[in-house]
Amino acid sequence: MGLLKDINREYEVVKLRDPSIHSKWEVMLYPYFKAMRAYRKAHAHYLKGHYFRARMISQRASRQTGIEIHPGAKIGKNFFIDHGTGVVIGETAEIGDNCMLFHGVTLGGTGKDTGKRHPTLGNNVTVYAETVVLGPITLHDNVIVGAKSVVMHDVEEGATVVGSPIRKVKQRLSDGTTITYNRDGSIRYITDSDGKRIGDNKDCDSCASRTMCKSSEKK
């Protein structure tokens, strides 16, 4: 694919996620732009079994951008890496559509698994800065992982998790409702799709959202 086509395509991705971009030409200055162009080339070689050539391309891109994407990784549409330095994506990692990573994120292996060793990210997953996601685990659709977290277990759809070990701080349900949790795992409050509070820890047994509270109890 030509440079201009790549610029146009990636600009559409970046402008939705990075308000600091002012023109489409700036896309070329993003390390991720170079890293993704190299990844696409390297991945095509990898799929043909040209492993040495594939690795050569990805290692050169890693030296130039600080982003190391193994050519074997599978990456969906509209993927974006903000800043980029220090990102590592392992060979058997799989990333769905509309995902976003920040600098310092590792999608790595634990060193204990063979075969599928790296994480799978569903669609619309965001992993914030310096977070390490390890092993053949799954972060399901719409998961958000806070900065400097360490994730070693599956994370359910719509959850926001933070820390090491992770704890769930929010759960977004398919109807737009969001449940916010306290540190001890109890419900702090519940908001509807407009952000209006519809229940809290004190009254959720009697409020209209009782069923919802029970069905979404923190595990």
Ligand X SMILES: CC(C)(COP(=O)(O)OP(=O)(O)OC[C@H]1O[C@@H](n2cnc3c(N)ncnc32)[C@H](O)[C@@H]1OP(=O)(O)O)[C@@H](O)C(=O)NCCC(=O)NCCS
Q: Given the rule CB under 6 A, which residues bind ligand X?
A: 83, 102, 128-129, 144, 146-148, 160, 162-163, 169-170, 183
**CB of residue 40 vs ligand X: minimum separation in angstroms?**
25
DSSP symbols for 32-60 = HHHHHHHHHHHHHHHHTT-HHHHHHHHHH
Considering the complex, state which of residue 42 and residue 204 has its C-beta at the smaller distance from ligand X. Answer: 204
**Two tokens, residue 57:** 């391309």
Pairing of strands 67-69, 120-121: unpaired
Which residue is at the shortest CB distance from ligand X? 146
Nearest-angstrom CA–CA distance, 187 and 110: 32
**CB of residue 109 vs ligand X: minimum separation in angstroms?**
23
**What residues contact residue 71 under an 8 Å CB cut-off, 6+ apart?**
39, 42, 43, 45, 46, 51, 54, 55, 57, 58, 91
**CB of residue 59 vs ligand X: minimum separation in angstroms?**
26
Interhelix angle for 3-17 vs 31-47, to 10°? 120
CB 148 within 8 A of CB 130: yes
Considering the complex, state which of residue 66 and residue 146 has its C-beta at the smaller distance from ligand X. Answer: 146
Considering the complex, state which of residue 57 and residue 161 has its C-beta at the smaller distance from ligand X. Answer: 161
Considering the complex, state which of residue 44 and residue 162 has its C-beta at the smaller distance from ligand X. Answer: 162
**CB of residue 199 vs ligand X: minimum separation in angstroms?**
17
**CB of residue 102 vs ligand X: minimum separation in angstroms?**
5
Most distant CA pair in the chain: distance in Å? Answer: 64
Considering the complex, state which of residue 8 and residue 186 has its C-beta at the smaller distance from ligand X. Answer: 186
CB 78 within 8 A of CB 61: no
